[in-house]
Amino acid sequence: MRIIVGVSGGIAAYKAAIVVSSLVQRGHQVQILMTDGATKFVQPLTFEALSGRPVGILVTDQPAGPISHVKLGQWAEVLAIVPATLGIMSRLALGQPSDLLSLTYMSYRGPVVIAPAMEPKMWLHPRTQEHAAKLSADDTQIVGPVAGHVASGDEGVGRLVDPDFLVRAIEHATAPKALSGIQVLVTGGATWEHFDPVRAITNPSTGRMGFEMAQEAAFLGARVTYVHGPRAADFGTLHPAVTAIPVVSAQEMRQAVWDIVGSVSIVVAAAAVSDFRPVASAKQKLHKSDITGHWEVTANPDILAELGQEYGGNKFLVGFAAETDNVVASAQSKLAAKRLDVIVANPVGASLGFGNYEHRGQIIDRFGGTAVINEGSKEFSAQQIWKRLVELYSQEQ
């Protein structure tokens, strides 16, 4: 994609360098425009080196050869502003361009992504909110800011969203919102079945797959409920269209799922639910002297199989099967037994699957169709899986 990244003058300007570096590595052409203020925080040379193009700063600058702000506006497929200060937001909202970046914005027609970063008090000021509302009404996508620590030492909503999240928001800016208006439920992470407050049966699943499935669905326009085990949402900025519901045990996950499932059309069960739980769980920490030689366990409910019983053939149900052997055959039998529409079969072993960032597998549908998931990050897998799910889901409607 051809992307203009505008950098305005705030302390978060250094994070724009991470965003630009990542966009370039992902194969995009990036033209940087900086406000004069931004150059006080980061040297233009940094951006020039990262983007491989001269940086535009003054209206008289002609970045990328003899090119005007009008031509820049025609060249770009996406315009992103990282970070956006109150100053640039007000110039854009009021239509008072005074620099190359705001002039380019005025002469550009296409998706715009703005990532504000400022003091929490400034962000919450009614004028700032008016500017943000006005820009949103013009179809400008405002991404963040998020809550956290800001440069002044304060805590509050004013922090730039994570660079990774911004890169994805920029990439999705031109993509059709294939899941717009659709409610999706995703389960993710391992459940923890406690023997006592400090010990539990669990497994090494990090929850990254469920998290990426929830995020990608939201980027595609869905409203998502993400029911997840401990720490399975700790992978950066959560999309605002994702509501995360943390749970610990399989029984809690089952309850949270049944509370919401009536209102969703698609269920993606990516959780690594513990198949067993202790029959008894001590309220206080057990000591060596309390151990009698064996612990009794009992089977947990199969959350997805129960959903299949109730909604199979009615709601669109997607399962995941992590297998060490007979990957496709085992996945196919789970698809049939749990009355699913689709199952994602994943080989797991020493170097793949659980906790590993790399991922590959196959998408098997109930008509016997298969699609291969090319190897890559779990973000890339989630993109491929959703692409296929959207096709299959729309065929069934």
Q: Which is nearer to ligand CTP, 92 or 213 (CB)?
A: 213
H helices within 148-194, ranges in order? 163-172
Q: What totals of helices (H) and strands (E) does the chain contain, helices first?
A: 14, 19
H helices within the chain, ranges in order? 13-25, 38-41, 44-51, 69-75, 86-94, 100-106, 120-124, 126-137, 163-172, 208-219, 250-260, 303-311, 327-337, 378-396
Dihedral angle sign, alpha carbons of residues 133, 135, 139, 142: negative
Q: How far is the CB of 346 from ligand CTP (least distance, A)?
A: 9
326 catalytic per annotation = no
Q: Which is nearer to ligand CTP, 131 or 338 (CB)?
A: 338
Q: How far is the CB of 353 from ligand CTP (least distance, A)?
A: 11
Q: How far is the CB of 188 from ligand CTP (least distance, A)?
A: 9
Cβ–Cβ < 8 Å for 158, 119: yes
Q: How far is the CB of 253 from ligand CTP (least distance, A)?
A: 8
Distance of CA 275 to the CA centre of its chain: 28
Closest to 299 (Cα-Cα) out of 201, 208, 393: 201
Residue 212 to residues 35, 166, 189, 358: CA-CA distances in angstroms? Answer: 34, 15, 11, 13
Q: Which of 203, 300, 314, 326 is catalytic?
A: 203
Q: How far apart are CA 207 and CA 68, in angstroms?
A: 47
Q: Which is nearer to ligand CTP, 237 or 384 (CB)?
A: 384
Residue 153 DSSP code: S
Q: How far is the CB of 73 from ligand CTP (least distance, A)?
A: 47
Residues at the contact surface with ligand CTP, assessed by CB under 6 A = 187, 250, 269, 271, 273, 275, 300, 302-304, 319-322, 334
Cβ–Cβ < 8 Å for 387, 363: no
Question: Which residues are known to be catalytic?
Answer: 203
